[in-house]
Amino acid sequence: MLPAGDTLVTDKPGPKKLALAGRRAAVVPAAERVREEVGPAGLPLVLTPAVAGLDPLAWAAESRAGLEERLLRHGALLFRGFGLPGIEGLQAFVRAVCGDLLEYKERSSPRSELGDRVYTSTDYPAEQPIFPHNEHSYARRFPLKLFFSCVTAPATGGETPVGDTR
C-alpha cells in the first residue's frame, strides 16, 4: 500500500515495471504560511513564519492586499522571525509590501542614511528620551507607513514604543 499522495506510474498494465513517481507538491495558501497573534492591547498584530523555508519577499508580494487590510484593522504589524538579511533585505521587503521607499526630505532631526532611503532613527544619545510623536507630520509629503528594523540588537534598552493615533 502506498502512502497518501504517492503515485504509481507504469507503461504496461500489470504489476511489473512499476516506478514510484514521487510525492506531489502541496501548495500551502499564503494565509497559512504565517501565524498571526494579536498583541495584548490589540496592537500590533504579530506575524511569524509558520512554515520552514518561507520566502518572505514572495509571501509579502502575494499577501500585499491582505497586509493592507490587517494594517488598517490593527494599526501596526510586527514581522518577527522573517530572516531579512540586513538593510538590503529590509529594502526589498518594504518594496514587496508597499512599493517605493520615501526619501527623507524636510529634515528636522539628525539621521544617518544606511542605504537607499533607509535611515537610522534620530541620532541622539541613548540616554536621551524621544517622546511620542507623529513621524514627519510637519512635512508636505509625510510617510503613510513606517518600517522599523533591528539589524543589531542593543545590549540593553532599545525599545521603540508604537502608538495608535487614528
pLDDT in tens, 32-79: 899 999 988 878 999 999 999 999 999 999 999 999 999 999 999 999
In a domain, residue 16? The reply is no
pLDDT for the residue 9: 37
In a domain, residue 99? The reply is yes
Three-state secondary structure call for residue 8: strand
Number of folded domains that form the chain = 1
- Among 86, 27, 85, CA closest to 51: 27
In a domain, residue 116? The reply is no
Structural domain harbouring 98: 30-105
Do the beta carbons of residue 101 and residue 116 sit within 8 Å?
yes
In a domain, residue 63? The reply is yes
pLDDT for the residue 30: 66
Considering Cα of 85, then 100, then 147, then 107, what sign does the dihedral take?
A: positive
In a domain, residue 12? The reply is no
In a domain, residue 42? The reply is yes
In a domain, residue 163? The reply is no
What average pLDDT does this structure show over 99-128?
80
* pLDDT reading at 26 higher than 60: no
* pLDDT reading at 81 higher than 50: yes
In a domain, residue 66? The reply is yes
Question: Angle formed by the axes of helices 86-98 and 64-74, to 10°?
Answer: 90
Convert 33-42 to b/e letters by CB count within 10 Å (16 or more is b): bbeeeeeeee
